[in-house]
């Protein structure tokens, strides 16, 4: 039996990851799986990479937004209910 990957698994971060850790994980994954990085690769590899990139983008979109992340963590329940880290405000 295989379990479905969640957004934390996709980006390889834990539920307590802060915004900077999530951003770094996203950029690392994007560099490896972006279709432009696989120019000249076999069609199957490019298609698989494109699907991975869609999942990576969706994971990042949810986990970088505090409200979306909170709702997502609530939907997962259990160990993923760790509070989303607070984002520091920057005075302008």
Structural domains of the chain ordered from first start:
7-77 (1.10.287.110)
Tell me the C-alpha to C-alpha distance, in Å, between residue 21 and each of 2, 15, 32, 44.
27, 11, 17, 31
Report the distance separating Cα 50 and Cα 65, nearest Å: 23
How many residues in total does the chain contain? 92
The whole-model pTM stands at: 0.73
Q: What is the pLDDT of residues 29-86, one digit of tens each?
A: 999 887 766 666 555 665 667 788 999 999 999 999 999 999 999 999 876 665 555 5
Residues contacting 50, CB < 8 A, separation 6+: 35
Q: End-to-end distance of the chain based on CA atoms, in angstroms? A: 51
- pLDDT value of position 35: 73
- pLDDT value of position 21: 98
């Amino acid at each position: 039996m295989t379990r479905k990957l969640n957004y934390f698994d996709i980006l390889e971060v834990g539920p307590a990851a802060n915004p900077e850790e999530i951003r770094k994980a996203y950029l690392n994954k994007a560099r490896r799986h972006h279709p432009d990085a696989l120019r000249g690769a076999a069609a199957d590899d490019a298609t698989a990479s494109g699907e991975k990139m869609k999942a990576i983008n969706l994971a990042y979109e949810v986990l970088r937004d505090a409200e979306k992340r909170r709702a997502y963590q609530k939907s997962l329940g259990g160990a993923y209910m760790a509070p989303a880290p607070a984002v520091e405000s920057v005075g302008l």
